[in-house]
Each structure stands twice: as C-alpha cells, then as structure tokens.
Amino acid sequence: MKPTITSAVRRAPDPFAGDDVIAGLRAPRKSLPCKLLYDARGAELFEQICTLDEYYPYRAELALLEHHLPAIAQAIGPSARVIEPGSGAGRKTRMLLAALDRPAVYIPIDVSAEQLATTARELGTELPGLQVAPIAADYTAAFELPVTRRHDGRTLVFFPGSTIGNFEPEDARRFLVRFAQLAGPGASIVLGADSNAEPEVLLRAYDDSQGVTAAFDLNVLAHLNRTHHATFDPSAFMHRAVWDASRSRIEMHLVSRRRQIVHVAGEPIQLERGEPIVTEHCYKHSPQMLEALLRESGWRTRHVFPDPVGRMRLWFAERPDARP
C-alpha cells in the first residue's frame, strides 16, 4: 500500500504571538516561558543532553520502552491511531510504531513545521500503510485533530520524556483532561514520568559537567534577542539548577552576573546582581502523585512499569470507558 501523508502540515497560530515574556520579566520573581528553550539550536542542545550519562531520564525511559512496548502493543491491538504531543526527533516514536500491530494513523503535534515535515516524510517511507497527519501547533493551546481515514483500532496518546514534569500542576491536569477528551472514548495513554528526589543526582542531571545544559539554558537569551528584539548579553548570565524539595521540583535559573538593564521589545528590564530569571520547572512526581493526577484527569491506570532503581516509570492508563 502507498504511504499516505496528509499533504500540508496544518498550521495553528504562532505560539509566540502576544506571549507573556514581558509580564514574566516584570514579575517580582522573574521568569520566562520554558517553550523558549526549544528553537532549532535549543532542540539540538536538548538532543545532546539526552546523550549525557548524567541526564538519566532519557536512557532509563528508552530501556523501559524496549522492555515493555511488546506488552503495551498487545493491549492496544491492531490498527491504532497514535496522537503524540511534542513529537521531537522521533526515536521513541519509531520504537512505538514498530511495536504496534499495523498502526493506521499517526498524528504528531509540534511547533516546528520543518521537523514535522521531515518526520512525516521519513515515517511515510518506513511504514507504508500508515497515514501521517501532522499538526504544527503549540499542543498546550487549542487546536482540532485532523479528519483522518477510518481506523478500527484504539487511540493511543503517546507522551514520553517526562515532559509532564514541565507543566505547573494545574496545567498538567488541564493538559491530561484535554487529551482524554480529544482522544475520545476507549482511548489509552502511555506517559513517562520521573519521581527521583535525590538532590545530588538531579543537580548533576540539570547542571552537567560538560556545560551542555548551561548552553541549553543560556540559548533562551539568544532566542529572545532574535525573536523579541531583546538586548541580552548571554555572558552576563550564568546557569544554575536548584532543587526545591518542598515543591518536588528542579528549577533552571539564569542568574544575572551584574546589575544591568536589558531591553526586550523596547521595554527596559532592570536586573540586580545575583537576581535569577526562572526558565523551567521540572516537577518530579511520586507514583502516588502521578496516579492521582491521572485519575483526576479522567484516566485509569492499568499498568506501571518502573526502572530498576525506581526513578523513571512508564504509565499505561485508559479512559474508564475503554473496557467493559
């Protein structure tokens, strides 16, 4: 059968239009939206992070997928429709699609139209019979699923990478509720999450010895200079990772090395020496927290697959209407 690729990548409105950059920089605790980490250079640096020994979540989840995808694929059955928010570079996607029995439709959702077009082209060739229907959108904003060919199988939402940890708790709930509704009756979800709470391991994972995470964080400033007419001098900032045990989260900070005034879209922003700008929160959910989050969002946990040291877990859950 010939591969089917929905011809044009469907584009949603620009995710950076009218955003909250200035509001975040004017707040008493300065912050920037973490989506700014992922321009083309940021995506490259994140791929490098995933190769670092210190950044354990990527490898741990890869091993979990290798071991448990056959069981998950069996539970899903043939002719599935797969929806993937934030599809990224696609290694884990390929593992999933290869494990599934003749998947029918793949809907990747990502802000990068170029990345989506490449993934769609490649998958279309690798998996004839699969309809690829990409959506270029910020998956945290409103969008509609494309109309695709009829399929007899289940719908699976695939959300690996412990990205759920980058949402604020209320946003995580909203996201999971929305995807339960979008995916529809009988749907399942495979989600990766990290529960690690060992500060030394976490601080090394988020402030590695080679400085790749620091470069990833500092790249936000170059990104803002380009897209928001900002005047940041990245060398006037340093990256810092902070573990907040009371909130069970790692925070990425860009710390101002001196007192300075920076302009963003013509607006002056004053920074004191040592003042941080928070660029990302990475929540580490205990298994109890994650199970409750799924339940409150309309998902019922069927299986949890932990790694041997009990940090990363793959969660396999379904909507309550999935089985009699």
Cβ distance to ligand AVI smaller for residue 136 or 241: 241
CB of 149 to ligand AVI, least distance (A): 31
Is 291 strand, coil or helix? helix
Cβ distance to ligand AVI smaller for residue 175 or 206: 206
Contact 126, 95 (CB under 8 A): no
Closest residue to ligand AVI, judged by C-beta, is 282
CB of 251 to ligand AVI, least distance (A): 10
Amino acid at 165: G
CB of 226 to ligand AVI, least distance (A): 20
Cβ distance to ligand AVI smaller for residue 39 or 280: 280
CB of 206 to ligand AVI, least distance (A): 5
**Tally of CB atoms within 10 A around 107:** 24
Token output for 188: 């399942």
Cβ distance to ligand AVI smaller for residue 119 or 162: 162
Torsion-angle region of 214 (φ positive above 0: left; ψ -120 to 50: alpha; else: beta): alpha
CB of 25 to ligand AVI, least distance (A): 20
d(CA 44, CA 154): 33
Q: Point out which residues bind ligand AVI (CB under 6 A).
A: 49, 57, 161-163, 165-166, 206, 213, 280, 282
Cβ distance to ligand AVI smaller for residue 163 or 195: 163
Cβ distance to ligand AVI smaller for residue 115 or 163: 163
CB of 47 to ligand AVI, least distance (A): 11
How many helical (H) and strand (E) elements, i.e. helices and strands, does the chain have?
A: 9, 15
DSSP label of 145? P
d(CA 108, CA 217): 26
Bridge partners of 310? none
242 closest CA partner among 285, 291, 276, 271:
276
